[in-house]
Chains A and B, each alone.
Chain A
Amino acid sequence: EAQVTQNPRYLITVTGKKLTVTCSQNMNHEYMSWYRQDPGLGLRQIYYSMNVEVTDKGDVPEGYKVSRKEKRNFPLILESPSPNQTSLYFCASSLSRQGSSLHFGNGTRLTVT
Chain B
Amino acid sequence: AQSVTQPDIHITVSEGASLELRCNYSYGATPYLFWYVQSPGQGLQLLLKYFSGDTLVQGIKGFEAEFKRSQSSFNLRKPSVHWSDAAEYFCAVVPRVDSNYQLIWGAGTKLIIKP
Contact = CB atoms under 8 A, between A and B. Distances in A.
B102 interface: yes
Contacts of A92: 43-44
A50 B46 contact: no
Given A4-B43, A104-B44, A107-B43, A98 B101 contact: yes
A88 to B, nearest CB: 10
A62 B41 CA distance: 26
A106 B90 contact: no
B39 to A, nearest CB: 10
Contacts, number: 58
Nearest to B96: A98
Interface in A85-113: 90, 92, 94, 96-102, 104-107
B107 interface: yes
Given A101-B46, A104-B44, A42 B100 contact: no
A42 B105 contact: yes
Given A31-B101, A41-B107, A104-B43, 16 more contacts: A40-B9, A42-B107, A43-B44, A43-B90, A43-B103, A44-B105, A56-B100, A58-B102, A97-B100, A98-B94, A98-B99, A99-B32, A101-B46, A101-B49, A102-B103, A107-B41
